Structure 1
Amino acid sequence: MPRRTVTMLASTLMLIALLCAGVLIPVPYAEMSPGPTVNTLGEHDGEPVLQISGHKTYPADGHLNMTTVRVTGADYRMNLVEAVYGWLAHDSKIVPHDTLYPDGKTEEQSSQENAEEFSQSQESAKVAALKALHFPVKSWVIVSTVVKGSPAEGRLHAGDVIKAVDGTAVRQPADVAKLVTKRKPGQDVVFTIVPAKDQAAAEKAHKEAAGTRNVTITTRASDDGGAKRAIVGISAGTDHTFPFTVDIKLADVGGPSAGLMFALGIYDKLTPGSLTGGTFVAGTGTIDDDGTVGPIGGIEMKTVGARAKGARYFLTPAGNCASAAKDTPDGLTLVKVKTIGDALDALQDIRGGDVAALPKCAAKG
Structure 2
Amino acid sequence: MTKQTWTAAVSALLFVVAAAIVAMWPVGFVTLSPGPTHDLLAAPEGVPVVRVQGLETFESSGHVLVTTAAMTGADAPVSLPEVLYAHWAPDRDVYPREHVYPARTSADDIRARDAQLMASSQADAAAAALRAAGIEVEQIPMVQTVSSTGPAAGKLFPGDFVLAIDDTPTPTVADARAAIEARAAGQEVQFTVLRDREPVVVKIDTAPSKTNGLLPVWGGNLVMGYSYAPRIELALDPSLGGTHAGLMMALAVFDKITPGDLTGGRTVAGTGAIDGSGVVTRVSGVREKLAGAERDGADVFFVPAANCGDLADIASPVRVVSVASLEDTINSLEMLADPATKGLVKGCT
Q: TM-score, normalised by structure 1?
A: 0.80
Contact kept? 2:86, 2:94, Cα under 8 Å: yes
CA distance in 2: counterparts of 1:45 and 1:32, whole angstroms: 31
Contact 1:135–1:243 (CA<8 Å) still a contact in 2? no
Aligned to 2:250: 263
Look up the match of 1:52: 52
Matched-pair contact (CA < 8 Å) for 1:276–1:350:
no
Deviates further, 40-49 or 168-177:
168-177
2:33 aligned partner:
33
Aligned to 1:244: 230
**Contact 2:151 2:204 (8 Å CA) reproduced:** no
Tell me the CA shift for residue 213 of structure 1.
Answer: 8.1
Structure-1 separation of matches of 2:202 and 2:38: 46
Is it true that 1:122 corresponds to 2:122 in the alignment?
yes
Which one-letter code corresponds to 2:90 in the other structure?
H
Shift of 1:21: 2.8
Alignment of 1:345-364 (within 5 A): 345-353=331-339, 354-362=341-349
Distance 1:216 1:332 in 2: 52
For 2:129, what is the secondary structure of its paired residue? Answer: helix
CA change 1:171–1:339 in 2 (3 A) is farther
Report how far residue 34 of structure 1 moved.
0.9
CA contact (8 A) 1:22 1:81 kept: no
Distance 1:273 1:218 in 2: 51
Aligned to 1:88: 88
SS of 1:102 mapped into structure 2 = coil
- 2:20 paired with 1:20: yes
- Asked if 1:307 corresponds to 2:305, the answer is no
Match of 2:218 in 1: 232
Deviation at 1:358, TM superposition (A): 1.4
Matched-pair contact (CA < 8 Å) for 2:64–2:267: yes
Q: 1:334 aligns with which of 320, 324, 331?
A: 320
CA distance in 2, matches of 1:216, 1:20: 55
- Output the TM-score relative to the length of structure 2: 0.83
Task: Describe how 1:1-365 pairs up with structure 2 within 5 A.
Answer: 13=13, 16-44=16-44, 47-144=47-144, 146-147=146-147, 150=150, 157-158=156-157, 161-164=161-164, 170-173=170-173, 176-177=176-177, 180=180, 186=185, 193-196=191-194, 200=196, 203=197, 220-223=208-211, 230-237=216-223, 240-251=226-237, 252-323=239-310, 325-353=311-339, 354-362=341-349
Q: Which amino acid is the alignment partner of residue 74 of structure 1?
A: A
Root-mean-square deviation (CA, aligned residues, Å) is 3.6
C-alpha contact 2:116 2:145 (8 A) present in aligned 1: no
**Could you tell me how far apart the structure 1 residues matched to 2:289 and 2:262 are?**
22
Q: Residue deviations 1:134-185, cap 9 Å, x none?
A: 112234224455546656679x74476534568975334365346656x697
CA positional deviation for 1:348: 1.2
Distance in 2, matches of 1:332 and 1:228, equals 57
1:52 is paired with a residue of what secondary structure? strand
Question: 1:89 and 1:266, CA in 2 relative to 1: closer, same or farther beyond 3 A?
Answer: same
> How far apart, CA to CA, are the structure 1 residues paired with 2:247 and 2:218?
34
Give the distance between the partners of 1:23 and 1:8, measured in 2 at CA.
22
Is the alpha carbon distance of 1:188 and 1:276 closer, same or farther for their aligned partners in structure 2, counting shifts above 3 Å? Answer: same
CA spacing shift, 1:26–1:167, aligned 2, 3 Å: same
- Provide the rounded CA distance (Å) in 1 between the counterparts of 2:53 and 2:152: 37
2:164–2:193 Cα contact (<8 Å) kept? no
Report the CA distance between 1:129 and its aligned residue: 0.4
Distance 1:230 1:194, change over 3 A: closer
Distance 1:174 1:98, change over 3 A: farther
What SS class does the counterpart of residue 31 from structure 1 fall into? Answer: strand
Q: Which runs of 5+ in 1 are unaligned?
A: none
Aligned residues: 346
Percent sequence identity over aligned pairs: 30
CA distance in 2, matches of 1:11, 1:355: 65
Q: Distance in 2 between matches of 1:213 and 1:309?
A: 48
Shift of 1:186: 3.9
CA contact (8 A) 1:261 1:284 kept: yes
Deviations 1:316-351 (A, max 9, x none): 11221111x223242122211111111111111111
Instruction: Report how far residue 124 of structure 1 moved.
Output: 1.0
Per-residue CA distance 1:63-111 (angstroms, 9 max, x = gap): 2211111112212221222222222333322221123211232211111
Is the Cα contact below 8 Å between 1:29 and 1:94 reproduced in 2? yes
Deviation readout 1:244-300 (Å, 9 max, x if unpaired):
332211224211111111111111122222212222221111111111111111111
Q: Aligned AA for 2:289?
A: K
Task: Compute the displacement of 1:51 (Å).
Answer: 1.8
The residue type paired with residue 208 of structure 2 is R
